[in-house]
Structure 1
Amino acid sequence: MAWGMVSDARKMGESEGRVLGRVTVYSVLGCPHCVQAKTSLGRLGLPVCDVDMGKHPELRDSVKELTGRSTVPQIFFNSVHIGGNDDLQELLPEELERLVRLVREEPVLSEALPLPLAEENQSDGPDTAEEADGAAELSAILRNMILKLFSEYLSSDGKCVDYKAMSLSPVFERYCELAVQLQRVELLSLTREEKLAFFINIYNALVIHGNVRMGAPTNTWQRYKFFNYVSYLIGGEVFTLQDIENGVLRGNRKGVAQLLKPFSKTDPRLQVALPDAEPLIHFALNCGAMGCPPIKTYTPQDIDSQLRTAAESFLENDDGCVVDSEKGEVRLSQIFKWYKADFGGTDEKLLNWILEHMGDSPKRSSLQSVLSSGKIKVSYLPYDWSTNSSH
């Protein structure tokens, strides 16, 4: 994007008086792409209405209907849909100038874009572990605290996190105190939906906690130690990252390079494991690498719909799936190679699973066409193990 124009746009904003319209950004707390987009938009000197989709999940369907996309951010200049962060950064100078003038000179129709109701009396729920009634609420409290920290310590371009500074934050110390309360959670009383949301949230929070305390792993051996030793005491039992992902959420299946199942037949943690692997968890778990899905908060209510949305978003991104119609080739994230058994075990079943879980898009149509041809080559994209740590 030609951001050399930004200073001119700002001067224009300062000289022409009151702005009649606004820029609306649908985002998620802690999303690097959202932070970068809002930083860029902030330089334009226009009013930006930031709608947190994590806080207002009831707007997801409306935004998806408007945009045809389930990813964040989604950006509107008045009622004109721009797209995501990449689309924003690639705007041509004359197009940017036209959009800035549109926002300056024309009001946005209040009914054109979905916005949350007035929030003065709304609450996100309990703020302390003492107020939480159970595992779901406690995990949400912990998760929200980590996301606030993650958002606060992102660099201005949204690409790096200052974990060192985060470690010195009083809010992080409060998070660590709350994490100790996980030992009192009664896991056996959780429903399937509560278990999914609880353990996904805890996994993602534990990864960030581990990065802050130990530093991000930088090679294969360090990653092995990280995922097999970083742990929380939950409900009286120790759960490592491997235990949570492969033991609980994948129905006690062997993980990558694991010789044995996480839980033996006599292990009390086996009672907590899901009866079968849930493939959708692979689009919700963030292991701290750039190649992982974005970090989000999940709630037991409508968890399957939330996970399907996460899958659609991941598959829409070219880091997750690329369809080359001319070559009859589908290139996929390594996640599909590592956990192929969870998606049916064969290329045919895997591709049909992907087709079924894609949103309506040109990419889905291309995949349908390739599948119909009967001649398909499946390959896997390089996985970006680099961390987003700035130290």
Structure 2
Amino acid sequence: MVEDATLMKGRVTVYSVPGCPHCIRAKTTLGALGVPVCDVDVNKHRDIRARVKELTGHNSVPQIFFNNLYVGNNEDLQNLVCSQDPEWLEHLVLSVRDEAVPLDAPPVPAKNCRSETDGAGCELSEALRNLILKLYSDHLSEDGKTVDYKAMSRSLYFERYCDLAVRLQRVELLSLSREEKLAFFINIYNALVIHGNLRLGFPKNIWQRYRFFNYVSYFIGGEVFTLQDIENGVLRGNRKGVGQFLKPFSSDDPRLQVALPDVEPLIHFALNCGAKGCPPIKTYTPEDIDGQLRTAAEAFLENDDSCVIDSTGREVKLSHIFKWYKGDFGGTDEKVLNWVFDHMRASQKKRKLQALLSTGKVKVSFLPYDWSINSTD
């Protein structure tokens, strides 16, 4: 039973949060039914979340309503779809088809709800993020460090992602807030690296890497953005990248309007270039993006592949990221060490660094960078 959502008078309201696998499955199931889905992110609308708890008695997501009829969570929906008695499901779909949204329907934000297929900026980026999350959950290792590229290339979800990526040209970049830009471009960068590796193969030497990061691109908001453009132009406030003689965007480049006003050092612990030496791959949301990035930095610095404190030799060994982008972290060894200390979680490693810093000069060196592909095979 699949209906045409454009002919329906009512709506199905799904109260969800970004990245929730149960929410994604519920919305996929509803999409297969052809009903018009109004997806409400309860992280953005706390007052609505409180009202939904009053209506349902539950804090969990998703919570699903057909007009004003409460269905339950994802498990309830799946049980309903798989039921041997389809009459109740048919009744729900027909009620949405034939009846306008009643006055006692559960609340939604004032802005009209649209499904992911509309292609508007926020809706499209959220749909892409949900697909990225699904691909990652299916094809990334638990620690986020390796990717099963072969299996991902055969995934129907990857095909769907490629279809939606074409619609990035319709995203209204100038309307995005700083937080939205950070989450959007970090997620798109990491997905584009994987997309490029699947389509073109993984770069194996410095010249191939240079070509890869200056060639692989998406058409976003009417402009072409390469990986270099995203990292150094947008997320680093239009600064020169490694091996670049010029800034990514000239003064008359329309993409300059999209660039963040200042460098964002924490992005270096979220961007993954496809190499084993990179930080783990995760997805990010605009809500509390700074907290998410700080958590990523703390985890990166706690790893001995990225930061080693040698108390005996009075030496701190850091990832090459801190050498390549030293200016982002202060520009001098002393300022880099202070930045590292300020962004470490409370741990034995941080106490060791504090002891070193309190007793005089500390040597800084940089660990070898593992450029081999982050593939599971």
TM-score for both structures, normalised by structure 2: 0.69
Within 2, Cα distance between the matches of 1:29 and 1:324? 41
Within 1, Cα distance between the matches of 2:143 and 2:175? 43
1:320 is aligned to 306
Q: CA deviation at 1:194?
A: 1.0
Higher relative contact order (CA 8 A, sep 6+): 1
State how 1:88-127 maps to structure 2 within 5 Å: 118-119=60-61, 121=63
2:152 is aligned to 166
Amino acid at match of 1:273: A
CA contact under 8 A between 1:231 and 1:239: conserved in structure 2?
Answer: yes
Within 2, Cα distance between the matches of 1:257 and 1:249? 17
Q: CA deviation at 1:157?
A: 10
Within 2, Cα distance between the matches of 1:118 and 1:274? 35
1:348 is aligned to 334
1:221 is aligned to 207
1:188 is aligned to 174
Query: 2:274 is paired with a residue of what secondary structure?
Result: coil
1:134 is aligned to 121
* Cα RMSD, aligned residues only: 3.0
CA contact under 8 A between 1:197 and 1:298: conserved in structure 2?
Answer: yes
Identity, % of aligned positions: 71
Q: CA deviation at 1:301?
A: 1.1
Within 2, Cα distance between the matches of 1:220 and 1:275? 30
CA contact under 8 A between 1:129 and 1:181: conserved in structure 2?
Answer: no
Is residue 203 of structure 2 the alignment partner of residue 261 of structure 1?
A: no
Within 2, Cα distance between the matches of 1:213 and 1:176? 11
1:278 is aligned to 264
CA separation of 1:317/1:390 partners in 2, compared to 1, >3 Å: closer, same or farther? closer
TM-score for both structures, normalised by structure 1: 0.66
CA separation of 1:341/1:210 partners in 2, compared to 1, >3 Å: closer, same or farther? same
Is residue 373 of structure 2 the alignment partner of residue 387 of structure 1?
A: yes
CA separation of 1:120/1:248 partners in 2, compared to 1, >3 Å: closer, same or farther? closer
CA contact under 8 A between 1:140 and 1:297: conserved in structure 2?
Answer: no
1:331 is aligned to 317
Q: Aligned match of 1:375 in 356, 361, 366?
A: 361
CA separation of 1:329/1:252 partners in 2, compared to 1, >3 Å: closer, same or farther? same
CA separation of 1:197/1:160 partners in 2, compared to 1, >3 Å: closer, same or farther? closer
Q: Aligned match of 1:251 in 223, 226, 237?
A: 237
Amino acid at match of 1:337: K
Q: CA deviation at 1:147?
A: 3.3
Q: Aligned match of 1:294 in 250, 264, 280?
A: 280
**CA offsets, 1:147-176, max 9 Å, x none?**
322332357998753323322322211110
Within 2, Cα distance between the matches of 1:374 and 1:121? 57
Within 2, Cα distance between the matches of 1:158 and 1:307? 15
CA separation of 1:29/1:350 partners in 2, compared to 1, >3 Å: closer, same or farther? farther
Within 1, Cα distance between the matches of 2:300 and 2:293? 10
Gapped regions of structure 1 (runs ≥ 5):
1-27, 31-54, 58-115
Query: 1:373 is paired with a residue of what secondary structure?
Result: coil
Amino acid at match of 1:259: F
Within 1, Cα distance between the matches of 2:180 and 2:294? 16
CA separation of 1:355/1:56 partners in 2, compared to 1, >3 Å: closer, same or farther? farther
Larger Rg: 2
Q: CA deviation at 1:252?
A: 0.6
State how 1:138-153 maps to structure 2 within 5 Å: 138-153=124-139
Gapped regions of structure 2 (runs ≥ 5):
1-18, 22-40, 44-57, 65-72, 75-112
Q: CA deviation at 1:131?
A: 5.2
Query: 2:255 is paired with a residue of what secondary structure?
Result: helix
CA contact under 8 A between 2:120 and 2:170: conserved in structure 1?
Answer: no
Q: CA deviation at 1:367?
A: 0.6
**CA offsets, 1:113-134, max 9 Å, x none?**
xxx954452789x996325653
Query: 1:226 is paired with a residue of what secondary structure?
Result: helix
